[in-house]
Structure 1
Amino acid sequence: MRVAVIGAGAAGLCTARHILSRPETFHPPCVYELAQTVGGTWVFTERTGIGDHGLPVFSSMYKNMRTNLPKEIMFRMFCADHFVRCYFLQFETFVELVKPVMKEKTGSEVTWEVTTLDLRKQHRTTERFDSVIVCNGHYFQPHVPHIPGIEIFQGRVLHSHDYRRPEPFAGQNVVLLGASNSGLDISLELSKTARFVTLSHHGLPIPSPLPCNVHEARVLKRMMQKTVIFEDESSVPADAVIFCTGYEYRFPFLSPDVKLCVHDRRVSPLYKHLVHMTFPSLIFIGICQKICPFPHFDVQVRFALAVLANRVQLPSRKEMEAETIEEFEEKRAYGVPNRHFHVMEERQWSYHASLLSLAGETPLPPVLEQLFQATKLLRKNDLLGYKNCSFRITGLDTWEKN
């Protein structure tokens, strides 16, 4: 099979590695990458807004970012340096269109026409593939809610996607909207230079001690010229507001024929959050959120390739839809908002086990979940110090903290 992989970030490299390990089933993949190197959102650049070739800057990495998970469960050796030298990785290549084409003999199966533009040579190419695996990530299109009064606010307004370093906010009063990973991390970094940091969110109070110049507030309700007002009508002066409000899913290269729907941060029709129900040879890696990324990509790719190799027989379209609706309704019953359908958190481990069982693949080592949960508890209770901890994996289900 010929497979096109869109994106050479962590998910794309993982996909390429597994495809290369199955030469009896797959040709070497054709990996299209918009940037000049591998890494996707993990590649730091000082640039924000518009980057090379007049395209938006993809990376959301800031200068001093440190992962909030131990490297032992974050990074795998995917031979990225080797990939850089390989012919199948096409850098500075813009994917313009991915279009399904019905096979004439069957009338039901499809191949895929992928049209790309070489940004350096301005040369357009169309190639045919048996499958397309989308690994374009979901940390590049900021979600910015409208706040009444934002148009009259005289301070700086930006999304965490465009945050790079704390120095420009020295001596300022900064308000951050959202207290998930980026909101918490950036607020702690800003506390070292800013005069005062306000973390606005709708969750429970943060249990960990915070720096003395960081305090919590309710959700931002409206903005004045130099002040912001929260839901409880309290207010603070503000020189800058940073939206740490997440990202939207975007697949602008997909033909309308694909009939992919993105509504309220839910991508459909996807089976198991990754396989297109109408076109099972179109696969999306990394849609899920709040997961342990690298093992998650590994599991999804192994399942996806088992589907493509016919080692996994998918249920009927009706059965796939029913299973997806059941999952959706179950999450709603637990109070999960519709927009969080792809949020996994604790469910990720049973999800991984299910995919690997269906694919007949080796389960993940239990130590990954153990270390993930231990770090989560450390982070909850000690935001200021947990990143200074170090760990060592000693076995499939054992680890130690150094």
Structure 2
Amino acid sequence: MIPKKICIIGAGAAGLITAKHAITQGHKVTIFEQTDGVGGTWVYSEETGCHSSMYKIMKTNLPKEAMLFQDEPFRDDLPSFMSHEDVLEYLEEFSKFFLIQFNITVTQVTREKDQWKVVCKSEAAEFSDLFDVVFVCNGHFFEPLNPYENCGFQGELIHSHDYRRAEHYEGKNVVIVGAGPSGIDITLQVAQTAKKVTLISKKATYPVLPASVRQVATHVKIVYPKGVITDDNEHIEADVIIVCTGYVFKFPFLDSSLVQLKYEGLMVSPLYEHLCHVDYPTSLFFIGLPLGTITFPLFEVQAKYCLSLLSGRGKLPSQETIKNFEDTRLQTLSNPAAFHIIIEEQWEYMKNLSKMGNFEEWGYMETIRKLYSYIMTERKKNVIGYKMVNFELLPESNDFRVVDI
């Protein structure tokens, strides 16, 4: 195998695990990170309007037993559901021997003959270099999707991206729009300080929530100066509206002639398997686009498959299959905005990448699958208490035991 000159954009979890395997395989790797440290979305900042979406008090939605890199366990003394500080420490320790160029922003990636020209800027200067391969690992939780911007609300309206701590909402009437992981976390925190919390979402049907929380299982139709109007025409007044409606993809360094963002920024195109650029399937890769997944282990499988294509071990299907991937998938979806959501499909997705990449599946993945299934079930039944346990692994049976804290 001829070593490749590889550019990795971003030093979050996706970029770091890609770097590890690329370096191990003998490639020449350059990592550009626009902030002054590793960790991406796991870096907490009191500032708002910045890259960080982390709030002050946050436990992971997945346990350490299900969000580790292969051969890189979390510390034994950590609880199963960790703080964001614990995850950041893990990534810092994992990357301590990597050479990373910090405070460097990639401003443009273009094709020049048979290479990629990557233009960067620092505080001091602008510079460029040529690479054989580019891995885009710039994350997904920094460009908020907020359908209620500029709506004329007279109170405080923020996206969950800028939520930091519950004390700010003491004694207020708070409407929270969206009941995904962030929406629920923020609801439970704000309920401890706010006068009243109204959670509005089709998913707002949890059997147990604090007494100060009212669930409204519908959509917000309009935000007006004093609050919101639901699809059922109920007027709900609020001092604060917190919008937990997710994020859009954004690649400011890629021209729209190369990559298009479809369905209001929720689909990245044209890609094969959410991963390989259709026109450059062996040199332009996007790690970490799938949503609703176990993240770290999935990032690693994606990175290993891409690198298998560089070594010649991995295989691609026919060009026709590659080009038809998006249309074929869209035909199976009722909502095209859910293109990258692969909650139930993720296990088969990783198996297929392992098979096409001609590398061994991680045997522990079956335990992760069982853990994930258990957690999703428990979360629906007891969203307040499902994190109040630890897990003990049972290696002989690829299973686990639940231990109350």
- TM-score for both structures, normalised by structure 2: 0.89
Residue-by-residue CA offset, 1:6-34 (whole Å, 9 max, x unaligned): 000010111111112212xx12x101001
Give 1:230 deviation, angstroms: 1.1
Residues 249-290 of structure 1, C-alpha deviation per residue, up to 9 Å, x if partnerless? Answer: 110101455x21111111111001000010120000001111
For residues 226-267 of structure 1, the C-alpha deviation after alignment (integer angstroms, 9 at most, x for no partner) is: 23221111222200111101111110101455x211111111
Q: Which amino acid aligns with 1:320?
A: I
Aligned length: 374
Question: Which residue is 2:294 aligned to?
Answer: 292
Give the match for residue 22 of structure 2: 19
Tell me, yes or no, if the aligned pair for 2:390 and 2:402 is still in contact at 8 Å: yes
Distance 2:320 2:339 in 1: 20
Q: Which residue of 2 aligns with 1:54?
A: none
Matched residue, 2:184: 184
Is the contact made by 1:37 and 1:84 (CA closer than 8 Å) also made in structure 2? Answer: no
- Equivalent residue number for residue 230 of structure 1: 230
Q: Provide Cα deviations, 1:199-236, integer angstroms capped at 9, x if missing partner.
A: 11123x52431111111122112233323221111222
What is aligned with 1:4? 7
- Unpaired segments of 5 or more residues in structure 1? 50-56, 103-109
User: Which residue number in structure 2 is paired with residue 107 of structure 1?
Assistant: none
- CA–CA distance in 2 between the matches of 1:247 and 1:141? 6
Letter in 2 for 1:307: L
Find the counterpart in structure 2 of residue 131 from structure 1.
133
| Cα distance change of structure 1 residues 319 and 227 upon mapping to structure 2, 3 Å threshold | closer
Percentage of matched positions with identical amino acids: 36
Q: What is the 5 A alignment of 1:216-365?
A: 216-217=215-216, 218-257=218-257, 259-264=258-263, 265-280=266-281, 281-330=283-332, 332=333, 335=334, 337-364=335-362, 365=364
Separation in 1 of the partners of 2:270 and 2:319? Answer: 10
Structure 2 CA distance for aligned equivalents of residues 314 and 20 of structure 1: 23
1:223 to 1:174, Cα distance in 2 relative to 1, 3 A: same
> Counterpart of 1:401?
402
Take 2:201 and 2:206, find their aligned partners in 1: how far apart are those partners?
A: 14
Instruction: Answer yes or no: is the 8 Å Cα contact 1:278–1:317 preserved in 2.
Output: no
Instruction: Determine whether 1:116 maps to 2:117.
Output: no
Letter in 1 for 2:117: E
- Secondary structure in 2 aligned to 1:390? strand
Q: Any gaps of 5 or more consecutive residues in structure 2?
A: 73-89
TM-fit CA distance, 1:85 = 5.1
Q: Which residue of 2 aligns with 1:215?
A: 214
Is the contact made by 2:41 and 2:141 (CA closer than 8 Å) also made in structure 1? Answer: yes
Structure 1 position 361, deviation (Å): 1.4
Maintained 8 Å contact 2:315/2:357:
no
Q: Which residue of 2 aligns with 1:141?
A: 143
Deviation at 1:385, TM superposition (A): 0.6
CA–CA separation in structure 2 for the residues paired with 1:294 and 1:82: 13
Preserved CA contact (<8 Å) 1:114 1:129? yes
| Cα deviation digits, residues 136-190 of structure 1 (max 9, x gap) | 011100011147x821x21101100000001110111111111111111111111
Alpha-carbon distance in 2 for matches of 1:79, 1:227: 41
Partner of 2:173: 173
Cα distance in 2 for partners of 1:260, 1:17 equals 26
- CA RMSD between the two structures: 1.6
For residues 222 and 180 of structure 1, the distance between their equivalents in structure 2, rounded to whole angstroms, comes to 20
| Partner secondary structure for residue 386 of structure 1 | coil
Q: Provide the rounded CA distance (Å) in 1 between the counterparts of 2:94 and 2:209.
A: 43
Contact persistence 1:13–1:80 (CA under 8 A): no
